[in-house]
């Protein structure tokens, strides 16, 4: 839909949207647009002070709650404290770090934060979700190689871009397997993924000087980057759709449906990833 803008969002009065990592970048732009449309928007953030400061820049009904996706105890506490329906869950929060680091639970930081945290959060909240789950992925998934026997980089050297691509590939495999499971139990909830394109955001703050230069020169605004996320949230699309910008190799422009790699369409790999994620997080698909 080449002409889709945030102004095309339907009135969302009485609806609740939960956006992770909503204190800056695409997450904040997404939260602003949803609140402007009338939704009650919950900003799930690691730093409460930054989240509250971000909420003050939003016109509309907002709430700030603490959530650290790199700490499964924080994810469980957040889910345990939740009550009421969730019309839209946006798994937006993500990181990219240049050196090998680990989550509180000992997982490689990018995989733990970008995949395992959202995996656990989604499944723990799934009984509350009534509408859609949109997980922010990336075309960087095409650079990802998912070795489920070496998730901690014990046998191969750590490279930031490859680790990021792996986590974004996991996002797409997770979305596909989640939709298959939802379909199997007759749920009306839809799981979709979105690629925001090349966006000027804080995720590149620790990247190389060359990467930061490319982002400054060619990156689009967070408001533009939020459009594929918003499109996935409200457009008439089937489950397991993947949205992204329409121009410059899907790096800029209005949103549309885009393709994914053959690996991201591998159902057996998605099943294996799901099983591994359940084992690592101790969280299982709750619907029967």
Report the distance separating Cα 215 and Cα 213, nearest Å. Answer: 5
Domain with residue 109: its CATH number is 3.40.50.720
pTM greater than the 0.85 cutoff: yes
- Name the active-site residue from 158, 164, 204, 231: 164
If we measure between CA atoms, which residue out of 192, 196, 199 comes closest to residue 233? Answer: 192
- Is 216 within the bounds of a domain? yes
Q: Given CA atoms 38, 219, 235, 130 in this order, what sign does their dihedral have? A: negative
- Is 241 within the bounds of a domain? yes
- Is 287 within the bounds of a domain? no
Query: Any idea which residue has 């199997």 for tokens?
Result: 184
- Is 60 within the bounds of a domain? yes
Number of domains in the chain: 1
Could you list the residue range(s) of the whole structural domain that residue 163 is in?
6-279
pLDDT in tens, the chain (288 residues): 458 999 999 999 999 999 999 999 999 999 999 999 999 999 999 999 999 999 999 999 999 999 999 999 999 999 999 999 999 999 999 999 999 999 999 999 999 999 999 999 999 999 999 999 999 999 999 999 999 999 999 999 999 999 999 999 999 999 999 999 999 999 999 999 999 988 777 665 555 666 667 666 677 899 999 999 999 999 999 999 999 998 777 778 889 999 999 999 999 999 999 999 999 999 999 998
204 noted as active-site residue: no
Q: 208: helix, coil or strand?
A: coil
- Is 288 within the bounds of a domain? no
Q: What angle do CA 113, 116, 121 make, to 5 degrees?
A: 95
**Contact (CB, 8 A) for 153 and 108:** yes
């Amino acid at each position: 839909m080449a002409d889709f803008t945030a102004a095309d969002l339907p009135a969302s009065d009485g609806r609740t949207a939960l956006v992770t990592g909503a204190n800056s970048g695409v997450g904040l732009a997404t939260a602003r647009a949803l609140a402007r449309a009338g939704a009650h928007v919950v900003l799930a953030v690691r730093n409460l002070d930054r989240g509250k400061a971000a909420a003050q820049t939003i016109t509309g009904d907002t709430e700030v709650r603490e959530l650290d996706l790199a700490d499964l105890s924080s994810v469980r506490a957040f889910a345990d404290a939740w009550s009421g329906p969730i019309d839209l869950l946006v798994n937006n929060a993500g990181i990219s770090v240049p050196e090998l680091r680990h989550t509180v639970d000992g997982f490689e930081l990018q995989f733990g934060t970008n995949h395992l945290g959202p995996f656990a959060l989604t499944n723990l909240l799934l009984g509350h979700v009534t509408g859609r789950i949109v997980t922010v992925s990336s075309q960087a998934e095409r650079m990802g190689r998912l070795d489920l026997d070496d998730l901690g980089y014990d046998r191969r050297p750590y490279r930031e871009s490859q680790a990021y691509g792996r986590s974004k590939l996991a996002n797409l495999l997770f979305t596909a397997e989640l939709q298959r499971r939802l379909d199997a139990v007759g749920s009306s909830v839809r799981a979709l993924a979105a690629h925001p394109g090349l966006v000027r955001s804080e995720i590149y703050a620790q990247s190389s000087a060359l990467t930061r230069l490319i982002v400054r020169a060619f990156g689009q605004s967070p408001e533009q980057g939020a459009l594929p996320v918003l499109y996935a949230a409200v457009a008439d699309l089937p489950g397991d759709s993947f949205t992204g910008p329409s121009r410059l190799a899907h790096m800029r422009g209005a949103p549309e449906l885009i393709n994914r790699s053959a690996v991201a369409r591998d159902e057996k790999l998605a099943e294996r990833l799901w099983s591994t994620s359940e084992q690592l997080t101790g969280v299982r698909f709750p619907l029967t």
